[in-house]
Amino acid sequence: MSDIRAGEIAVALPDTFDAGVYFIGHIRTPWKTRGECPRNARGSDAVCTIELEERYAAALEGVETCTHLVVLYFMHEARRDLVVQVSRHSGRRGTFALRSPVRPNPIAISVVRLVRVEGKKLSVVGLDCLDGTPLLDIKPYFASVDSVPEAVVGWSKGGGE
């Protein structure tokens, strides 16, 4: 593992995993390096493509009726052992107060706007991940349970990510 910054805390992770996940497809974005990725999901209007594996194609039935989706993906390049992280942008924070890819289970969620469905490919706006990122899940976004406009992250002054 690479070095950690002053103030960061790494822990020993368990020796074995408790469950497994399948990569069910991949995400195509314009960004080939972390440095190129937008700072957050509202930072780009780029249309990205979700390419589902053929075996799961039938699971898209009805997805075209959704204006927005929740996309879950696996940040497979991230280290998993930091519980406290330090960054210029966010200061010193516990991992669960951050949306950093560095976390025990590097599963990201992004709320995206669905542009179109063509076969097993979805075109969406609102992703900020690396090209080739493995896909874990797609869910319909229900405003009734998923939208909380008044939510506040106190440590983040402007309310931005």
**By CB under 8 A, residue 132 contacts its own copies:** no
Q: Decide if residue 141 touches its own copies (CB under 8 A).
A: yes
Q: Is 4 in the site for its own copies (CB under 8 A)?
A: no
DSSP SS3 for 93: strand
Minimum separation from the CB atom of position 149 to its own copies (A): 5
Q: Which of 4, 160, 158 is nearest to 81 (CA)?
A: 4
Q: How far apart are CA 137 and CA 70, in angstroms?
A: 8
- The single residue among 31, 48, 103, 127 that binds its own copies, judged by CB under 8 A, is 103
Q: Map the footprint of its own copies across residues 26-55, applying CB under 8 A.
A: 40-42, 55
Q: In the bound complex, what is the minimum distance in angstroms from residue 32's beta carbon to its own copies? A: 21
CA–CA distances in Å: residue 109 to residues 15, 70, 118: 26, 7, 22
Q: What is the pattern of x (binds its own copies, CB under 8 A) and - over residues 51-90?
A: ----xxxxxxxxx-xxxxxx-x-x-x---x--xx------
Cβ(113)–Cβ(124) under 8 Å? Answer: yes
